[in-house]
């Protein structure tokens, strides 16, 4: 069996154990990842700490060229990497290829931002005491970054943490999800081809029960975590003096207004409730439809969902593949059954086959059902009629989560009202909340997290302002 090495301070290494990786669709063994020993983890953290000053002083062209190299190499190996993602994650090739394309963009964007990463100046002679003085304000790294990455986008969500760190000159230690470590290890292979100094990066596929030591280590003052809410908030509570960025998911809502293009809305909602098998924190889960269009919209949605191609993720036509595990699919099944027992009606789907769950639409879901209140992280949505935009927005906001929301409308008034009133980090007008451009700020409010991703936003998050005042200048 192919055992991939991990990356310790930029060098390939093996430990004394390994993680076996299996394909969620058929259970076949994909490969294995070497697991570092506690001593090797210590070496990686010590190396990141030791190289921090050198990393912060790296010329911008060195950072930018390393990032551009990784972008080019991902593009050159795109099909190989997409197939690796499908193998370990189970997502259809359609979405794996899209993920690879996004990672190419993330590293390219980071290379571009690195070349623009300059300070700014302020004249201070706005008051007499500042005569002859000017401030130079630069952003400098807060220190080495610990990146804890999830299984659902094993390449691109790793890229969203690694690329900004390198761009600002911060060493980074990556702990990938145990279910999907191979994509992150391949990314480490590409980073190792660059001229970045030793210690600048490590990729350590340690089990989750050994992660607490990493998050607590004071030599890693930044923790960037994407994953489950309970774990994320526990980390933040345990290290209150660290800078912790959390992307924790949600139960994304869509509002279909009276003036919406129903064919477009049905097509987008159907696809993006079920893409990645619903395992996306911005996958559509709640759909609120103007009552005057509800009876027209729902049949279109049902027809489109029933027409999605499900099954083998290796099939070029498959749109919806398996969940990450059979346990995950069984949890989705239990939540749907609970909602049905409480009075909900199944309009489409509602069946499980191993790790796969059929794309599902529910109606009449009680407000206190898990599917209404929590993130299902599976291919399930529910629809509900509303009598006004105000009612729809109130329902969107009636949630512990607030990542992104989608509003299908042609009205600028409604668009700006949504932006003003919806308690989310991003409002997507005319489309689903699943839309994300990799350069835009991306983050949530309430229990959806803290801080923002997006290349430049993450660069700002990893740094702080440092001021130098020049005195006696002939301004």
How far is Cα of residue 233 from the mean position of the Cα atoms in its chain?
16
Report the half-sphere exposure of 336 (CA within 13 A, side-chain side): 28
Residue 475 domain-assigned (yes or no)? no
Q: Tell me if residue 193 is catalytic.
A: no
Kindly state the tokens that stand for 107. Answer: 């590293």
How far is Cα of residue 263 from the mean position of the Cα atoms in its chain?
29
Residues in Cβ contact with 282 at an 8 Å cutoff, skipping those fewer than 6 apart: 250, 252, 403, 404, 432, 433, 434, 435, 436
Domains of the chain: total: 2
pLDDT of 402 > 90? The answer is yes
Residue 473 domain-assigned (yes or no)? no
- Of 430, 384, 427, nearest to 404 by C-alpha is 427
Q: Distance between CA 112 and CA 98 in Å, rounded?
A: 21
Instruction: Give the total residue count for the chain.
Output: 475
Residues 235, 261, single domain; the answer is: no
156 confidence band (pLDDT: 50, 70, 90):
very high
**Contact predicate 322/24, CB 8 Å:** yes
How far is Cα of residue 249 from the mean position of the Cα atoms in its chain?
9
Q: Compute CA distances 378 → 93, 143, 197, 274, 326, whole Å.
A: 18, 36, 41, 7, 12
The overall average pLDDT reported for the chain is 97
Q: Compute CA distances 61 → 65, 106, 144, 193, whole Å.
A: 6, 17, 20, 16
Q: Which domain holds residue 192?
A: 3-248+449-468
Mode of pairing for the β-strands spanning 356-357 and 352-353: antiparallel
pLDDT at res. 249? 87
**Contact predicate 182/158, CB 8 Å:** no
Q: Distance between CA 318 and CA 459 in Å, rounded?
A: 36
Kindly state the tokens that stand for 395. Answer: 């329902």
CATH number of the domain bearing residue 177: 3.40.605.10
Question: Average pLDDT of 123-145?
Answer: 98
Residue 235 domain-assigned (yes or no)? yes
Q: Which of 88, 281, 333, 447 is catalytic?
A: 281
3-class DSSP state of 372: helix
Tens of pLDDT, residue by residue over 300-358, are 999 999 999 999 999 999 999 999 999 999 999 999 999 999 999 999 999 999 999 99
Residues 168, 235, single domain; the answer is: yes
Residue 442 domain-assigned (yes or no)? no
CATH number of the domain bearing residue 288: 3.40.309.10
Q: Distance between CA 421 and CA 390 in Å, rounded?
A: 10
Tens of pLDDT, residue by residue over 216-265, are 999 999 999 999 999 999 999 999 999 999 999 899 999 999 999 999 99
Residues 304, 400, single domain; the answer is: yes
Tens of pLDDT, residue by residue over 413-458, are 999 999 999 999 999 999 999 999 999 999 999 999 999 999 999 9
Hunting for tokens 């919209």 — which residue is that? Answer: 297
One-character DSSP codes across 424-444: SSEEEETS-TT---TTS-B--
Tens of pLDDT, residue by residue over 43-83, are 999 999 999 999 999 999 999 999 999 999 999 999 999 99
Residues 231, 296, single domain; the answer is: no
Q: Distance between CA 393 and CA 422 in Å, rounded?
A: 6
Residues 51, 181, single domain; the answer is: yes
pTM of the complete model: 0.97
Q: Distance between CA 135 and CA 47 in Å, rounded?
A: 34
Residues 365, 330, single domain; the answer is: yes
Q: Which of 88, 247, 375, 453 is catalytic?
A: 247
Mode of pairing for the β-strands spanning 134-141 and 404-408: unpaired
Q: Tell me if residue 373 is catalytic.
A: no
Residues 355, 406, single domain; the answer is: yes
């Amino acid at each position: 069996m192919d055992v991939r090495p991990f990356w310790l301070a930029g060098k390939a290494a093996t430990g004394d154990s390994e993680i076996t990786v299996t394909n969620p669709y058929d259970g076949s063994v994909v490969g294995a990842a070497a697991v570092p020993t506690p001593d090797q983890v210590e070496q990686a953290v010590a190396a990141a700490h030791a190289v921090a000053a050198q990393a912060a002083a790296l010329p911008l062209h060195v950072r930018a060229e390393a990032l551009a190299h990784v972008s080019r190499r991902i593009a050159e190996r795109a099909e190989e990497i997409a197939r690796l993602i499908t193998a370990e994650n189970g997502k259809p090739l359609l979405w794996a290829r899209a993920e690879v394309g996004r990672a190419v963009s993330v590293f390219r964007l980071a290379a571009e931002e690195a070349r623009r990463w300059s300070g700014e100046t302020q004249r201070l002679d706005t008051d007499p005491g500042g005569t002859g003085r000017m401030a130079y304000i630069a952003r400098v790294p807060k220190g080495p970054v610990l990146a804890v990455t999830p299984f659902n986008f094993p390449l691109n969500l790793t890229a969203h943490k690694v690329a900004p760190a390198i761009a600002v000159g911060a060493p980074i230690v990556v702990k990938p999800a145990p279910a999907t470590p191979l994509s992150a290890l391949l990314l480490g292979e590409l980073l190792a081809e660059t001229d970045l100094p030793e210690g600048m990066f490590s990729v350590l596929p340690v089990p989750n029960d050994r992660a607490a030591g990493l998050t607590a280590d004071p030599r890693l003052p930044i923790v960037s975590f994407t994953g489950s809410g309970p774990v994320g908030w526990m980390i933040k509570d345990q290290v209150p003096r660290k800078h912790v960025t959390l992307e924790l998911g949600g139960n994304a809502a869509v509002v279909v207004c009276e003036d919406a293009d129903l064919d477009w809305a049905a097509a987008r909602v159907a696809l993006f409730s079920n893409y990645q098998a619903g395992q996306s924190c911005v996958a559509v889960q709640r759909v609120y439809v103007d009552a005057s269009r509800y009876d027209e919209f729902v049949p279109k949605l049902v027809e489109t969902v029933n027409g999605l191609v499900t099954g083998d993720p290796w099939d070029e036509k498959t749109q919806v593949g398996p969940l990450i595990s059979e346990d995950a699919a069984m949890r989705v099944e239990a939540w749907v059954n609970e909602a049905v027992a409480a009075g909900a009606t199944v309009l489409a789907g509602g069946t499980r086959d191993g790790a796969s769950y059929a794309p599902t639409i529910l109606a009449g879901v009680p407000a206190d059902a898990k599917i209404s209140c929590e993130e299902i992280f599976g291919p399930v949505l529910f629809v509900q009629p509303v009598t006004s935009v105000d009612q729809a927005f109130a329902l969107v906001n009636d949630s512990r989560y607030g990542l992104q929301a989608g509003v299908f409308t042609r009205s600028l008034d409604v668009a700006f009202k949504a932006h003003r009133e919806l308690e989310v980090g991003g409002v997507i007008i005319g489309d689903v909340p699943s839309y994300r451009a990799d350069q835009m700020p991306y983050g949530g409010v309430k229990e959806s997290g803290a801080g923002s991703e997006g290349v430049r936003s993450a660069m700002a998050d990893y740094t702080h302002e440092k001021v130098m005042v020049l005195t006696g200048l002939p301004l």
